[in-house]
Amino acid sequence: MSKAIDKEADCRFMDEMASLMMPWGWPRNVGRMYAYLLLSDKPVTLDTISEDLRIAKSNASVAARTLEQFGNARRHSEPGSKRIYYSAPDILSGPFAFTSQLLGRISGLLASHKALARTDAVDARLDDMAGFYAEIRDAIQGVLDRYAGIASAVEGVPDGEEPSPSLPSSSATRTR
Amino acid sequence: MSKAIDKEADCRFMDEMASLMMPWGWPRNVGRMYAYLLLSDKPVTLDTISEDLRIAKSNASVAARTLEQFGNARRHSEPGSKRIYYSAPDILSGPFAFTSQLLGRISGLLASHKALARTDAVDARLDDMAGFYAEIRDAIQGVLDRYAGIASAVEGVPDGEEPSPSLPSSSATRTR
DNA sequence: GGATAAATTCACAAAAATCAGAATATGTCA
DNA sequence: TGACATATTCTGATTTTTGTGAATTTATCC
């Protein structure tokens, strides 16, 4: 696996994924790690991630927990060891749980301000726009819900790999 | 309108909208201007925007063209004058112009890397994830297409307000 | 053509984000 | 308890982004 990760194509994959995730607010190395984990067939340690991505272990630690926080990486513990392993997320991953929440908040903001606007035209605009943002949010959430259904149907099937997984929560990345 | 914009609630609206747009890569004043235009019942000049938002005119100029570039503000000219007016965008607006394309590229990246992955498990993961991102992309594009259909059905109806509008293109904000 | 107003670009400062490495905290074992 | 390995937090440097004000360009009128 370390050999596979070092391949030039894998590096390009990680760099390109990082570039595509930056518009969603993901720091560059968070995106690179996300891609790295997608390519990993076994859970990896912070030391391995740090070496393979050529970043400081402190940076790997922060980035890993950022990914984990919204379900974009799985954390595994190993009985009798302090070591933590990280592995690829579920198919349901990426920046969408946070995106969905954000869109809901934008829609709510527009709807709640409607009552304070001064003209009927502005009222109508805010109302229509609130609906628009809500529809985008619902469209995303619909796909997420369907994939969540698939994931929970698959839950409980052991993968036979060491170590045992901890469950992710929801998904996005950028604390500010 | 200037009185309405100065109201504390409007400022909170603009600040909150700015906060919600920053995760999409929008600079703070771009988000504030977007909200300001949503609340404006008439097109406004750069001088007015600069005054009302308390930002330098140069910043207003750059931010306005950033919004306009992706359909998040409308530009109006006035015959016999160099003055430019800006007004609220269509309902179909916000940070979505590149979203669909971006998701398509992520899906394509995942699918194309599938052939280079080393194990069946990783191959399957990349394939499934490519499908997931494509579904999100399609869900978003479906809403955008529907709103684009609404907007083009409404096109051509004069709003009776001076000055005449220039057409926006698509929508997002962050050139990098 | 010049005068003037408005918009835009440029240079630089300020602010924010990111990263590496040091320092500290924590978990496991004996 | 201490030793050790690992993870995390903190600090400061570096890089990147954002915004202001000066300078320049552009549009309009006479």
Query: Three-class SS string for B128-169?
Result: HHHHHHHHHHHHHHHHHHHHHHHHHHHCCCCCCCCCEECCCC
pLDDT digit string, tens, across residues B94-150: 999 889 999 999 999 999 988 776 788 999 999 999 999 999 999 999 999 999 887
pLDDT digits (tens, 9 = 90+) for B11-62: 999 999 999 999 898 999 999 999 999 999 999 999 999 999 999 999 999 9
Chain A residues touching B98 at Cβ < 8 A: 23
Contact B142 A140 (CB under 8 A): no
- Most A CBs within 10 A among B7, B19, B24, hence the mutation to make, goes to B24
Domain boundaries, chain A: 2-89, 96-148
Higher pLDDT, B166 or A10: A10
The whole-number pLDDT of residue B156 equals 47
In Å, what is the separation between the CA of B154 and the C1' of D1? Answer: 79
Q: Which CATH architecture has domain B2-91?
A: Orthogonal Bundle (1.10)
Q: Is A164 helix (H, G, I), strand (E, B) or coil?
A: strand
How far off is chain B from A19, nearest CA to CA, in Å?
10
CA of B58 to C1' of C1 (A): 30
Question: In Å, how far is A75's CA from the nearest CA of chain B?
Answer: 18
Element (H, E) at B77: strand B74-77
ipTM beyond cut 0.90: no
CA of B44 to C1' of C2 (A): 30
Hey, what CATH topology would domain A2-89 get? Arc Repressor Mutant, subunit A (1.10.10)
Phi, psi of A86 (to 5 degrees): -120, 145
- B114 → chain A, closest CA residue: A39
